């Protein structure tokens, strides 16, 4: 392919990635080193109340925000270096908690609490999504041709539903006197409060993520199963290989590039878990790194936002995603080099 033709195909995508991904990342990285605060001034204010025969006036010095020419509160930025990262990580409190061996004290620090859940959520749901997707793909591939269409349609429904709507649906099934909670209480004869503890909320969030994302893995794996070399499978059968051995030595190696692809997509998406936190209203028990960034950007009672902390939290989240992707990317690169 000529370079001009290649550039015509790739150029627009590269430009859009530079405009909407690279530039915002550079901006966020720069903002993490600056703290922007409103400008205040101290002024003498006279307050008068009606009185007889003369009004009673009191003068006092108040601190008020400075209003700029545009009618908005004036702000100023200061370079603070790594101060925002230190404020997010709170390494002093981490050191104290580790010196006491107190896990519960460590989990009172927002960033480490969010990191613990994000890593747990990502690393537990990853093998479940791959496993459930592969099982569904194998079942559909071996099913009678007449029922494949309806089975594929039903399997794709969870993936079609909007994430927040799906999360709310699961929450409504279990919260309070939800249908499933009521059924479990009737069956077990005990009172069940699924949203009273953090671990039950996490289990439901993981269940929802697997239920929602496994159909994506199923579609990819089912497409890959259509390209398995049938001669190789027949040779394995002739050689006496059972179903498990054919899966292990023929099918899975053939699907390995697709498994790595699905793992990469899931790792990038799952480490940024946010919809489940909102849908399950779990902020009092469980938070994620993405939600922590959102919380920093939420205006406080004075209308101020912690933009520098939000930027630092976003960059730390990006570092975590890169760390998780190193091993899959190394395997992809090794397989790519081996194929040439």
Q: Given this model, what pLDDT does residue 338 score?
A: 66
Q: Given this model, what pLDDT does residue 15 score?
A: 87
pLDDT reading at 119 higher than 90: yes
Q: Given this model, what pLDDT does residue 163 score?
A: 82
pTM for the complete prediction? Answer: 0.82
| Cβ atoms of 221 and 256 closer than 8 Å | no
Q: Given this model, what pLDDT does residue 112 score?
A: 93
DSSP 74-141: -EEEEE-TTHHHHHHH-HHHHHHHHHHT-HHHHTTSHHHHHHHHHHHHHHHHHHHHHHHHHHHHHHHH
Task: Please give the DSSP secondary-structure letter assigned to residue 45.
Answer: E
Superfamily for domain range 112-338 = MetI-like (1.10.3720.10)
| Cβ atoms of 286 and 277 closer than 8 Å | yes
Residues 213-222: what's their mean pLDDT?
A: 92
pLDDT tens digits, 18-32: 888 888 889 999 989
pLDDT tens digits, 286-308: 999 999 999 998 887 666 788 89
Structure confidence at residue 1 as a pLDDT band (50, 70, 90): low
Residues 39-61: what's their mean pLDDT?
A: 76
Please state, for a pLDDT cut of 70, what percent of the chain lies above it: 96
Q: Name the residue with higher pLDDT: 296 or 338.
A: 296
Q: Name the residue with higher pLDDT: 262 or 56.
A: 262
**Domain edges within the chain:** 112-338
Q: Name the residue with higher pLDDT: 231 or 130.
A: 130
pLDDT reading at 194 higher than 90: no
| Cβ atoms of 59 and 45 closer than 8 Å | yes
Q: Given this model, what pLDDT does residue 336 score?
A: 67
């Amino acid at each position: 392919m000529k370079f001009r033709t290649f550039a015509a195909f790739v150029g627009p995508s590269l430009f859009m990635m530079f405009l909407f991904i690279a530039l915002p990342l550079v901006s966020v990285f720069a903002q993490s080193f600056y703290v922007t605060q409103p400008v205040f001034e101290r002024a003498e204010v006279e307050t008068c109340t009606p009185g007889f025969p003369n009004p009673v006036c009191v003068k006092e010095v108040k601190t008020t925000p400075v209003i700029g020419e545009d009618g908005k509160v004036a702000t100023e930025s200061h370079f603070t270096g790594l101060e925002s990262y230190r404020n997010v990580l709170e390494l002093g409190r981490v050191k104290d908690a580790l010196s006491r061996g107190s896990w519960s004290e460590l989990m009172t620090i927002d960033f480490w609490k969010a990191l613990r859940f994000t890593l747990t959520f990502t690393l537990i749901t990853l093998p479940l999504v791959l496993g459930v997707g592969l099982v569904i793909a194998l079942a559909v591939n071996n099913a009678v041709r007449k029922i494949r269409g309806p089975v594929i349609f039903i399997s794709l429904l969870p993936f079609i539903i909007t994430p927040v709507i799906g999360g709310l649906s699961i929450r409504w099934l279990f919260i309070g006197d939800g249908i499933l909670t009521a059924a479990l209480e009737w069956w077990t004869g005990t009172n069940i409060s699924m949203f009273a503890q953090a671990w039950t909320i996490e289990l439901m969030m993981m269940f929802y993520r697997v239920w929602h994302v496994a159909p994506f893995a199923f579609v990819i794996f089912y497409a890959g199963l259509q390209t398995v070399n049938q001669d190789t499978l027949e040779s394995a059968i002739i050689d006496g290989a059972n179903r498990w051995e054919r899966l292990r030595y023929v099918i899975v190696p053939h699907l390995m590039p697709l498994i790595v692809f699905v793992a990469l997509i899931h790792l990038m998406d799952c480490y940024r878990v946010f919809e489940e936190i909102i849908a399950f209203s779990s902020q009092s028990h469980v938070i994620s790194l993405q939600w922590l960034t959102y919380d920093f950007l939420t205006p406080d009672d004075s209308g101020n936002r912690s933009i520098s902390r939000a930027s630092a939290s976003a960059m730390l989240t990006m570092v975590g995603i890169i760390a998780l992707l190193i091993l899959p990317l190394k395997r992809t690169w090794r397989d790519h080099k081996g194929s040439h």
